């Protein structure tokens, strides 16, 4: 089973387009987010991002995780109280 914090980091990096902005969104350090992504890549045994010095992009393997991403996005939304 995947750690929720690793999935949150994945979604944040994918949404923000970079580790720095993802770290700001999650109120973590860039190093922590980078480590979480590395751990997720180890668990999944797949590279999830193509990294350059200026940007990150999802790999084809990461795009296959879209169902997980949608689920994770739904989990971070506050519950609706009726």
Tell me: the pLDDT tens digits for 22-62?
Answer: 999 999 999 999 999 999 999 989 999 998 888 899 998 88
Residue boundaries of the structural domains of the chain: 4-75
CA distance 28 to 33: 7
Comparison of pLDDT for 18 and 72, the residue scoring more: 18
Fold of 4-75: Arc Repressor Mutant, subunit A (1.10.10)
CA distance 36 to 72: 15
Token pair recorded at residue 9? 């980091």
How many residues in total does the chain contain?
Answer: 82
pTM of the model: 0.76
* pLDDT tens per residue, range 4-15: 899 999 999 999
Q: What percent of the chain has pLDDT over 90?
A: 54
């Amino acid at each position: 089973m995947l750690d929720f914090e690793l999935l949150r980091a994945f979604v944040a990096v994918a949404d923000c387009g970079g580790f720095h902005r993802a770290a700001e969104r999650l109120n973590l350090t860039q190093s922590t987010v980078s480590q979480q992504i590395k751990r997720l890549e180890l668990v999944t045994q797949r590279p999830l991002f193509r990294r350059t010095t200026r940007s990150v992009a999802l790999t084809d393997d990461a795009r296959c995780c879209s169902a997980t991403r949608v689920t994770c996005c739904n989990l971070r939304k506050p519950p609706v109280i009726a």
